[in-house]
């Protein structure tokens, strides 16, 4: 499948990454490259290290070996300014993790004001625009507890976007949602991808991956078993493990 | 088959039995009323007993009690003042030590943990003795002599165990916030201090309030310990009144009077604590 937009320079370059929790290896020699404007989906069975890989990209989880470069910056460098890395990398979690004591608008505005030290009026204007973009202009003053799961997840996406990241990571963001609200969130992500945002998604939504991804990675047991265009991976998988997995989930 | 009219017990819809205890607002009112009535009856009985057993018959027990009541009440108010000040001091110290208990620096964390455990597991009276006899009665600062009267030392002595307990309350409150909050704050590039003050503590605050109020009620009752180290509080005055009257049969109603004052003050706090706990539980 031909890419729908011009692909730019590599934004995320992962080379030979290994990670163990104690003596248990979660990632064994993982390498992948994501270019600017590209949408990449990582699929695979539970416990294959997908979520860990995402958390390694923004430095939430330190890696044991290898190299991860984000916008030319080595993540595994002790002298790295973690704050500057995280301004470039937005992440959205499965459990939304909104701040329950703040309204939707405040959730979006907090980090730009207190972390980026931007002017409040400018931030508020941007926050309102972002919340309108994810379809929540009616819910600006609602608290997370008053929103549905799908709405909370869209606030979480707006909150990450407010930092103007270079790449967005999505960690099974629809796994806790019912089919109806799932759709709202997926459409939001699809719009983002279409606008040229670099997105890396860990997902169990095979249909979505097939439709939106430029590149699909299938992981199992801490390894990338197979990767390629969605048409290749879904339509004509080469590896037995990929076939077995796709047979079970499709 | 007839709908909904089966005799088979397994198919009958489950109905929870009606609650035995009264619920809602009725419960605290009725329980509180009942307890107060019981106290009043006990108080009346003790007065009557004192009246009957008095040898030789002098002034009535009620007259004596009324004469001393204002003074005892003043002493009681002093207990309340001490409880306020120790709680304030203990809370300030306790919050700082509690936050230190979740520090990323292991030496800070371990020190805070050690201090907390030490003062939390020490008898309050022993700590009070240490504060009274180890602290100087005055100290000099830049040529200024600052007096350190006994009641100030008592406040410090009581604040020590309070601080240790507040420290545990704060630590527990912080730990009760899901780790996802830390994670998402970290991913948004908040510093640890910002995360603590803007995201974690505001959420933990309401969970800390009930145990903190509970601690305050316990502290208020414990303030009578200061009479042991020679400070004139409600208990000291009550004892002095008994000595002055030299009527041993008045011992029970006299102490009961002081007890009632503490009860009237602490019991509503205990009820409010329970009510708050219930409310937060429903929301959580």
The pLDDT value given to residue B51: 75
Please provide residue B65's backbone torsions phi and psi, each rounded to the nearest 5 degrees.
-65, -45
Alpha-helical (H) ranges within chain A are 50-57, 82-88, 104-114, 120-133, 149-161, 179-194, 206-212, 230-235, 240-249
Site from A114, A157, A166, A175 to mutate, B interface, most B CB atoms within 10 angstroms: A114
Subunit contact A101:B188, Cβ cutoff 8 A: no
User: How close A68 comes to chain B (CA, Å)?
Assistant: 17
Q: Which residues of A touch B206 (CB under 8 A)?
A: none
Answer yes or no: is pLDDT of B238 > 50.
yes
Rounded to two decimals, the pTM is 0.80
Per-domain boundaries in chain B: 25-280
Express each pLDDT in B164-219 by its tens digit: 999 999 999 999 999 999 999 999 999 999 999 999 999 999 889 999 999 999 99
Contact A201, A41 (CB under 8 A): yes
* Cα–Cα distance list, A41 to A32, A165, A199, B47, B98 (Å): 12, 18, 8, 83, 43
The pLDDT value given to residue B31: 62
A-B contacts (CB, under 8 Å): 52
Q: Which residues of A110-144 are buried (b: 16+ CB within 10 A; e: fewer)?
A: bbbbbbbebeeeebbebbbebbebbbbeebbebbb
Q: Which residues of A touch B202 (CB under 8 A)?
A: 101
**The complex's ipTM?**
0.89
Contact A75, A42 (CB under 8 A): no
Contact A40, A199 (CB under 8 A): yes
Site from A55, A97, A106, A155 to mutate, B interface, most B CB atoms within 10 angstroms: A97
With cut-offs at 50, 70 and 90, classify the pLDDT of residue A70.
very high
Percent of chain B scoring above 90 in pLDDT: 58
Q: B7 in helix, strand or coil?
A: coil
Contact B71, B277 (CB under 8 A): no
Query: Distance between alpha carbon B256 and the CA centroid of its chain, in Å?
Result: 20
d(CA B253, CA B232): 20
Answer yes or no: is pLDDT of A123 > 70.
yes
Answer yes or no: is pLDDT of B115 > 80.
yes
With cut-offs at 50, 70 and 90, classify the pLDDT of residue A18.
very high
Adjacent-strand bridge partners of A35: A10
Express each pLDDT in A194-236 by its tens digit: 999 999 999 998 988 998 899 999 999 889 999 999 999 999 9
Answer yes or no: is pLDDT of B267 > 70.
yes
The pLDDT value given to residue B250: 87
B25-280 belongs to which CATH class?
mainly alpha
Of A62-66, A186-190, B21-25, B43-47, the poorest mean pLDDT is in B21-25
With cut-offs at 50, 70 and 90, classify the pLDDT of residue B26.
low
d(CA B162, CA B94): 7
User: How close B181 comes to chain A (CA, Å)?
Assistant: 6
d(CA B160, CA B166): 10
Higher pLDDT, B57 or A26: A26
The pLDDT value given to residue B283: 47
Subunit contact B189:A86, Cβ cutoff 8 A: yes
Answer yes or no: is pLDDT of B1 > 70.
no
Percent of chain A scoring above 70 in pLDDT: 97
């Amino acid at each position: 499948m031909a890419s729908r937009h011009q692909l730019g320079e590599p934004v995320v370059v992962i080379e030979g990454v290994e990670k163990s929790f104690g003596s248990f290896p979660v990632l064994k020699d993982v390498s992948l490259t994501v270019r600017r404007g590209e949408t990449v989906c990582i699929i695979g069975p539970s416990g294959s290290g997908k979520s860990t890989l995402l958390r390694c990209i923004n430095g939430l989880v330190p890696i044991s070996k290898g190299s991860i470069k984000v916008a030319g910056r080595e993540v595994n460098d002790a002298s790295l300014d973690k704050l500057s890395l995280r301004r470039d990398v937005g992440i959205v979690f499965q459990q939304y993790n909104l701040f329950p004591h703040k309204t939707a608008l405040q959730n979006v505005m907090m980090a730009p004001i207190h972390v980026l030290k931007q002017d409040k009026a400018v931030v508020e204007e941007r926050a309102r625009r972002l919340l309108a973009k994810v379809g929540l202009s009616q819910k600006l003053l609602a608290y997370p507890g008053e929103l549905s799961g799908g709405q909370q997840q869209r606030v979480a996406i707006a909150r990450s976007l407010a930092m103007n990241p270079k790449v967005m990571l999505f960690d099974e963001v629809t796994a806790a949602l019912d089919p109806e609200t799932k759709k709202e969130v997926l459409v939001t992500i699809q719009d983002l991808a279409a606008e040229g945002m670099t997105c890396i998604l860990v997902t169990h939504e095979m249909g979505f991956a097939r439709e939106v991804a430029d590149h699909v990675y299938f992981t199992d047991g801490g390894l990338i078993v197979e990767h390629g265009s969605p048409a290749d991976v879904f339509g004509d998988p080469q590896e037995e493990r990929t076939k077995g997995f796709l047979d079970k989930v499709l | 088959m007839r709908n909904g009219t089966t005799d088979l017990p397994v198919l009958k819809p489950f109905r929870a039995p009606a609650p035995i205890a009264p619920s809602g607002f009725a419960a605290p009112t009725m329980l509180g009323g009942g307890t107060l009535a019981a106290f009043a009856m006990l108080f009346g009985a003790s007065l009557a007993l004192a009246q009957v057993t008095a040898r030789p018959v002098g002034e009535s027990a009620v007259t004596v009690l009324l004469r001393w009541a204002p003074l005892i009440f003043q002493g009681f108010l002093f207990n309340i003042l001490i409880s306020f000040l120790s709680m304030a001091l203990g809370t300030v110290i306790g919050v700082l030590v509690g936050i230190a208990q979740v520090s990323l620096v292991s030496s800070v964390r371990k020190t805070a943990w050690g201090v907390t455990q030490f003062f939390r597991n020490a008898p309050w009276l022993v700590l009070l003795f240490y504060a009274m006899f180890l602290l100087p009665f005055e100290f000099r600062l830049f040529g200024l002599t600052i007096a350190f009267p006994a009641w100030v030392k008592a406040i410090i002595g009581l604040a020590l165990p309070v601080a240790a307990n507040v420290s545990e309350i704060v630590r527990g409150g912080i730990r009760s916030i899901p780790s996802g909050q830390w994670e998402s704050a970290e991913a948004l590039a908040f510093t640890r201090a910002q995360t603590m003050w803007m995201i974690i503590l505001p959420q933990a605050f309401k969970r800390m309030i009930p145990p903190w109020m509970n601690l305050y009620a316990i502290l208020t009752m414990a303030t009578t310990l200061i009479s042991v180290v020679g400070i004139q509080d409600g208990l000291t005055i009550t004892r002095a009144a008994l000595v002055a009257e030299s009527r041993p049969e008045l011992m029970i109603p006299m102490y009961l009077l002081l007890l009632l004052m503490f009860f009237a003050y602490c019991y509503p706090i205990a009820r409010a604590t329970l009510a708050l706990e219930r409310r937060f539980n429903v929301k959580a």
